[in-house]
A = this chain, B = another copy of it.
Amino acid sequence: MPFVHIDLREGTSAADRRAIADAVHQALVETMGVPADDRFQVISEHTREGLIYDQTYLGIARTDAVIFIQITLSVGRKPAQKRALYARITEVLTREPGVRAQDVVINLVEVAWENWSFGDGEAQYTQ
């Protein structure tokens, strides 16, 4: 059910991009109760001009290795669960592939449970 968009600068290796996507999914499974096989992710690489970020907003020192993670998911998670997700995504990413914690920017977009079709033209979550 989560649909994940990852935006980063070009130059990240394919292995590291995979590790980043793996980390986000692992954290969703561990903190949000997302099924392990409920995985749909898009990774987009951008030129220097195509990905703009502030280097100090809120006193956090970001670098060109910044990663934007936008997760569309169904409503109903409490703030504490969202905080656990942010912490876990960042924790796993810092370990593998070794992203700086300051470079992990996350945004959630919540939608209704009937707003998904996973194939066959049906709204599987309303059945």
Please give the residue numbers on chain A whose beta carbons come within 8 Å of chain B beta carbons, in ascending order.
3, 7, 14, 17-18, 21, 35, 37-46, 49-54, 56-58, 60, 62, 68, 70, 72, 79, 82-83, 86-91, 101-112, 114-124, 126
Partner of A38, one of B39, B54, B79: B54
CB-CB nearest 3 A-B residue pairs: A90-B121, A60-B119, A86-B117
A114-B57 in contact given A89-B121, A119-B102 (Cβ < 8 Å): no
New A-B pairs, 16, CB < 8 Å, besides A21-B52, A40-B52, A40-B105 = A3-B68, A7-B42, A38-B54, A38-B57, A39-B52, A40-B53, A43-B50, A60-B118, A79-B123, A82-B115, A83-B114, A86-B117, A86-B122, A89-B121, A108-B111, A108-B115
